[in-house]
Amino acid sequence: MASRPITSWQIDGEAMETLSRVLDLPPENLIKSISAVPISRKEEVADFQLSVDSLLENNNDHSRPDIQIQAMRLAEKLKCDTVVSEISTGQGTVNFKINRELLTKTVLQQVIEDGSKYGLKSELFSGLPKKRIVVEFSSPNVAKKFHVGHLRSTIIGNFIANLKEALGHQVTRINYLGDWGMQFGLLGTGFQLFGYEEKLQSSPLQHLFEVYVQVNKEAADDKNVAKSAHEFFQRLELGDMQALALWQKFRDLSIDEYMRIYQRLGVHFDEYSGESFYREKSQEVLKLLDSKGLLQKTLKGTAVVDLSGNGDPSSVCTVMRSDGTSLYATRDLAAAIDRMEKYNFDKMIYVTDKGQKKHFQQVFQILQIMGYDWAERCQHVPFGVVQGMKTRRGDVTFLEDVLNEIRLRMLQNMASIKTTKELENPEETAEQVGLAALIIQDFRGFLLSDYQFSWDRVFQSRGDTGVFLQYTHARLHSLEETFGCGYLNDFNTACLQEPQSVSILQHLLRFDEVLYRSSQDLQPRHIVSYLLTLRHIEMKKPENLYCHSHWNQCRKHHFYGRVFFLLP
């Protein structure tokens, strides 16, 4: 568990001062060893715990006496006071229970003062420098419809950018489009053979997709088609105006379509870049590699970089084709160098599927041997594959099909409940609620894990699901509006002493720890788990899930996730 500075210990400095005096350690060293205790459904637990093992790690005494004995000895030296009402020991810990009235007052005051910034102002983050962070995510292929495989990159990258931005970092969101490469040789040739201008104008990406599928089949059977595709891409690389004009048309049509999809997702970018931006700079990279003696020619005429230093074939990265045209790796090298010059980033994060793990390892390693020490600031965040995602029409190919399916299923779920009344905008509400449910389902596990997709699980109205999580948030807003409470400037702490209220307060204490963990490992599952636990302890007897007023609140307030960085 990540350690944290404890707000309630700052009620007065007496408890900290006592610990500091007994242990002969400065308060800042103690802060690193104290954490909030996770709530328990079975019993009322302490509020904070001091890890004795963590303290001993910082101790120069290498004898390391028995941890449990040390914990008991330390507990005996400490006394309860107006802040700490009870002291006990656990497995290698000293546990502290805070005066309940004081706990209630302090936590609620902090929540009210900080509002949506609650947890972000923790001392856990105050000592960390604000950084310039570049996040590259989504990155669909131009002239192809937005494939569902890009969904995870889009929502994960958006989460990372949102979280880093909320923590005060300067974030640049880049959509690095796959708008260059041999696929455009195939597509250019394919459109000349099978394309129709009328179809291109009426349904651009659908027609381009059909052309691409057809030309791939032809190229596999006819070497002349494959040769024509190769020649078309060479013309692009050499700047042929006719070839570039056709490519530009495909690119513009694609971006228009992507912009519409991103609007539905609520995702934005600061920069739309692409491999095409670096077709000239990639040649400069090749010259630089050659000047450093890193470029090696093969018998086939290609150029490679040997990352092993001893000719190991598994450690060779190809950076140029035999005809002198660039490759994906070459363009990524040029893009990284350009971004460092442009943004002077402290961290650059690439969000792609785990199949590209070796590619990024090689790119980062080549940057290192080229002499760019900042390559260690580059990070690849890989994710697993979603399996079994289908619509009623069959296997899913395009993201738009998924969004339409989400909206349809959510509308049907709402319509099937007798108590559902007319909504202000049923289609918009259904899509927002359904998309958020899909994101929560995706974020529950490790990003690297593959998982089997299930529509039924996504839209379950009970249990640990995104639908029910949103309902909880909407229900709370509905209660606020019904009773006109909102945020209170004054409250009666005596009304919040029962176990359930105390459990909620204890859980709120842990929020900055959860943010810290997610900010360190970039895993949204910590926040999802936190929210689901909060939902469990704050709700006993849920009302009808599809209540009219609650769904309108969902549309209006857009669920916990907006506050907790999961959603756009």
Catalytic residues: 144, 147, 150
For 296-325, the DSSP string reads EE-TTS-EEEESSSS--GGGEEEEE-TTS-
Distance CA 400, CA 468 (A): 24
Listed residue (391, 518, 539) closest to 474, CA to CA: 539
**C-alpha dihedral, 47 to 52 to 54 to 59, nearest 10°:** 140
Listed residue (343, 530, 472, 405) closest to 151, CA to CA: 405
β-pair partners for 133: 171, 347
Handedness of CA 453, 456, 458, 463 (dihedral sign): negative
3-state secondary structure at position 50:
strand
**Whether the Cβ atoms of residue 435 and residue 568 lie closer than 8 Å to each other:** no
For 107-135, the DSSP string reads HHHHHHHHGGGTTTTSHHHHTSPP-EEEE
**Whether the Cβ atoms of residue 189 and residue 229 lie closer than 8 Å to each other:** yes
The residue with tokens 């048309």 is: 249
Nearby residues of 482 by Cβ (< 8 Å), 6 or more positions away:
none
CA–chain centroid gap for 425, Å, is 29
Distance CA 231, CA 340 (A): 33
Provide the 8-state DSSP code for 433: H
**Whether the Cβ atoms of residue 410 and residue 431 lie closer than 8 Å to each other:** yes
Query: Which segments of 120-203 does DSSP mark as H helices, in order?
Result: 123-126, 149-166, 182-194, 197-202
Q: Say how many Å lie between the first and final Cα of the chain, rounded.
A: 28
Tokens representing 19 are 């610990």
